[in-house]
Amino acid sequence: MLQLVPLLNNLRLFDTDDDSIERRFKNHLERIRLDKFSGEEDSWELVKLTPKDRKKIKRRADRIIEARSKFSRGTHLTNTDKKLLKPAMDGVRLLGPRLEHEVDEIASTLYQEMPWLQQAINEIWLDMRHSVGFGEGGLKLKPTLLVGGAGLGKTHLVRRLADLCGLPTVHVDGGAGSEGFPIAGLTRGWGGAECGRPLKTMLSSKVANPVVVIDEIDKAGTSFGTSGTSTSMHASLLGLLEPVSAVDWPCPYYQLSCDMSRINWLMTANDVGRIPGLLLSRLRIIHVNQPSTTQMAFFLEKEVFRRKLPESCLDTLKKIADKANDSGTLSVRLMVRLLDELQRFEALPIRH
């Protein structure tokens, strides 16, 4: 049975809306009278509610609404918000390996496919072992920064890990913008206001520990508004990466306290020197090296088999890899793109 853990710390909602309370009272009273006067002459006249009945029902409904409002913690939410949040009130799931042999199998698969990433995979393996042995189970990694040149397979490793663990993935491109809105969300009242993408994914998937990938975090800067206010992805991450504050993180959009402490944060960067020290102090830094030609050939063999591509593709891919290596343009990103294209063409229907 999957374990449920809390997500929305202080949200209290009721199953019925305020407008339905009076209607339920009226229906209940009519049923009582219908049972009492059933079979009597002019029974419908006896069942029908009088103005006095309606005033009494309204008074009782108002008292219930008043008492309920003192207990509720979500009166500021819209009906759309409540519909989205209610399923997560009882908790969300923890997914990922729960037994040590499952952890070892995942780590072994990753190492077989990407042996040049041995250091990063070893740290991931140790985190998973610790989570299974001493924690709640499921995937739980330390916030990690993978540093290395472009196209070394850093993002591919993260996506493959999430796939093997059956976890939803949130992908944020740090080089595409400096704002922290995709991470933390935006307060209501601003155009395009919504909650951050990690929380949105947790609510839609009902999973407490998604994998959040932030590519090129070193390229994210600071944006300034016309009023002088500023926002940055780096600043938005600080509270989410600190264990104490992440447990009780205030969502600016929903204005609710959320437990974001189980998110698996994995980031990539080319130049660690461009990342603020406050953010670096919250991250485990792992340097990634370029794969050798032998490792690249082994990677291609595994991917062709995993994607169920024709074996004839392998020789072509190896030749392309050799030419790219001679010209200095060989990268995991290039080869993954070619594999994706081959997989796409293989899925096309055969036309006669």
For residue range 36-52, list pLDDT tens digits in order: 777 666 666 667 788 88
Q: Tell me the C-alpha distance between 232 and 220, whole Å.
A: 7
Determine the pLDDT at residue 97. 93
Mean pLDDT across 214-240: 76
Mean pLDDT across 122-142: 88
* Tokens 């070394």, located at residue: 152
Beta-sheet strands, E only, within the chain: 4-5, 92-93, 144-147, 169-173, 211-215, 222-224, 230-232, 249-251, 256-258, 264-269, 284-287
Q: Map residue 340 onto helix, strand or coil.
A: helix
| Domain covering 98-287 assigned CATH 3.90.1150.200 in the classification | no
Q: Tell me the C-alpha distance between 4 and 95, whole Å.
A: 10
Give the range among 80-84, 219-223, 348-352 with minimum mean pLDDT.
Answer: 348-352
Retrieve residue 305's tokens. 């088999």
> In this predicted model, what pLDDT tens digit does every residue of 24-82 receive, in sequence order?
888 888 888 877 777 666 666 667 788 888 888 888 888 877 776 665 566 678 878 88
Q: Tell me the C-alpha distance between 324 and 318, whole Å.
A: 10
Mean pLDDT of the chain: 85
Q: pTM of this prediction?
A: 0.77
Determine the pLDDT at residue 161. 95
- 300: part of which helix (H) or strand (E)? helix 293-306
> In this predicted model, what pLDDT tens digit does every residue of 266-294 receive, in sequence order?
999 988 998 999 999 999 999 998 888 88
Determine the pLDDT at residue 247. 94
Ordered DSSP codes for 80-117: HHHHHHGGGTT-EE--S--SHHHHHHHHHHHHHH-GGG
Q: Tell me the C-alpha distance between 305 and 165, whole Å.
A: 20
Q: Is the pLDDT of residue 302 over 80?
A: yes
Determine the pLDDT at residue 222. 63
Q: What percent of the chain has pLDDT over 70?
A: 86
Mean pLDDT across 177-195: 79
From the list 222, 227, 223, 252, the residue with the least C-alpha distance to 240 is 252
Q: Map residue 296 onto helix, strand or coil.
A: helix
Mean pLDDT across 160-170: 95
Q: How confident is the model at residue 230 (pLDDT cuts 50, 70, 90)?
A: low
Determine the pLDDT at residue 343. 85
Give the range among 35-39, 62-66, 226-230, 255-259 with minimum mean pLDDT.
Answer: 226-230
- DSSP at 273: G
Spatial contact of 215 and 148, defined as CB atoms under 8 Å apart: no
Spatial contact of 198 and 143, defined as CB atoms under 8 Å apart: no
Determine the pLDDT at residue 248. 93
From the list 204, 257, 255, the residue with the least C-alpha distance to 84 is 204
Q: Is the pLDDT of residue 263 over 90?
A: yes
Give the start-to-end residue ranges of the domains of the chain.
Answer: 18-88, 98-287, 293-346
Q: Is the pLDDT of residue 197 over 90?
A: yes
